[in-house]
Amino acid sequence: MRRVLIPVSTNVNHRRVLSALRLLQWKEADYTLLNIIELPQSTATYDEVVIKMIEKHKKILEELSDYLKEYGYETKVKVAVSRDIVSGIVEEVKNGGYSMVVLFRRPRGFWGRIGLKLFKSVSQRVLDDVTVPVLILPKE
């Protein structure tokens, strides 16, 4: 069975995720919605505040999962903590046995486009570090 990892932020557009699943046309795939909580180096990983953040983010992803279920897509929900979003996604791909990753590009303002010329985007860094196919969907 195909295993697809879909990293999302907590403010992701539900219809955008639904469009991605429809694009794949795999009703029988094993979909996992992943949210990475990025913590600074000085933060204790299991601080009470972090635990509350995990619960809050999981609830948001469960709402997205319920929305997708209305359209016939079963999804799992996972919230992880990492020092860096890219390394959190890459680690999940390597340890989770996924066969594909679906990423959503964020719209970039002027400074974001300038920064993109100096630094790689999250999408590009994930693409460089995983060995499975990556579907990158453009901004809406």
What pLDDT digit, counting tens, does each position of 26-85 carry?
Answer: 988 999 999 999 987 665 556 788 889 999 999 999 999 999 999 999 999 999 999 899
Give the predicted TM-score (pTM) of the model. Answer: 0.85
Pick the CATH number of 3-137 from 3.40.50.2300, 3.40.50.620, 1.10.220.70, 3.20.20.70: 3.40.50.620
The residues spanned by each domain of the chain are 3-137
Instruction: Label residues 82-116 b or e (16+ Cβ within 10 Å = b).
Output: beebbebbbebbeeeebebbbbbeeeeeeeeeeee
Contact 37, 83 (CB under 8 A): no
Residue 104 predicted with pLDDT over 70: yes
